[in-house]
Amino acid sequence: MNGKTWKAWLVPGGLLLALVSGLAASPFFIQVAPTLDFYYTAVFAAGLLLAWRFHSSRILFCLLTLLLAHRAVDFFAAGRVRTGPGHTAVILVALLIPLNFIVFASMRERGLTIAGIAPRAGLLFLESIVVAVLCRPENSGVTSARPSLGEIPAWVLLVFVAAVAVFARRFMQTHKPIEPGFVWSVAAVFVWLEFAPLGKMSDAYVGTAAMILAASLIETSYVLAYHDELTGIRGRRAFNESLLSLDQQYAIAIVDIDHFKKFNDTYGHDVGDQVLCMVASRISHVEGGGHAFRCGGEE
């Protein structure tokens, strides 16, 4: 991985989770604990608002999944997560959150339309019924097997690993910041359920999982606005802003692919797109502090 790839993986999700984990393990956590209710409410309100504003049904329903899961653990645990309905709720939530993230992220983004909302809402409704039934005291023994590590059974850990693998693969294909956001949000969920399923720390970790998704949505929107979607290099808007920031001598090379229209007509636009990506990849390795931009169709 190069420096840009590492940065995309670690910022903002990894940084946010590291800050919260460090704070939770420090003596200062007691001092900030009274403010966590505001933090939790503000993060979810802002995240849901951003998801609505950016027409992202995927992020909207991932946030709703987190919110419903957290409420379910609090409701069924009644202060105990080692046995009974509380333990069952932790196991079910640990299983369903990574699976929901995979499903919601894989579904086609259709915005906040009926076609985009109905399947996801239906899935959450059915899952809520299943959790409510299995967490009844007479049924909670179905999932009462003792975990091998902390609160989460080893077989459920495989779902977290699978989710990380899925989003890592998607990132290698799309290079969009939202994919590392899903990874770090799932990691925050794991830390919550494994080490602090109840109390103020749970508010901190669940709120941080939501914040990571919201921040990744903003980062993805920035990338789409300032980078060319096909090639991944910077676009016209970034080029214009870079010109305004120059205050010394500079050089500009305008590159045009020879006979590109003929190539498209002969081999098709899909192959033409591959050529553009290949050329952009070569140009993006320019040295000496230079930057590559795509300002037009063939330039």
Quick: pLDDT tens for 220-274. Answer: 888 777 778 788 788 888 888 888 888 778 888 888 888 888 888 888 888 888 8
CA distance 96 to 247: 53
* E strand intervals along 95-147: none
Model confidence at 1, pLDDT cuts 50, 70, 90, reads low
Q: Give the count of alpha carbons within 13 A of 171, CB side only.
A: 24
Which residues lie below 8 Å from residue 204, measured CB to CB, with a gap of 6+? 20, 23, 24, 29, 36, 39, 40, 196
Q: Are 200 and 36 in contact (CB under 8 A)?
A: yes
144, 154, 155, 158 from 147: Cα distances, Å: 9, 7, 9, 13
62, 69, 217 from 48: Cα distances, Å: 10, 16, 11
Q: Which residues of 147-172 are buried (b: 16+ CB within 10 A; e: fewer)?
A: beeebbbeebbebbeebbebbeebbe
Residues counted in the chain: 299
CA distance 55 to 124: 19
DSSP-based three-state secondary structure for 293:
strand
Question: Once rounded to an integer, what is the mean pLDDT over residues 17-33?
Answer: 92
Task: From 15, 2, 4, select the one nearest 223 (Cα to Cα).
Answer: 4
Question: Once rounded to an integer, what is the mean pLDDT over residues 107-128?
Answer: 90
Task: From 193, 295, 186, select the one nearest 239 (Cα to Cα).
Answer: 295
The pTM (predicted TM-score) of the whole model is: 0.81
More confident residue, 298 or 70: 70
Model confidence at 144, pLDDT cuts 50, 70, 90, reads very low
Rounded to the nearest integer, the mean pLDDT of the chain is 87
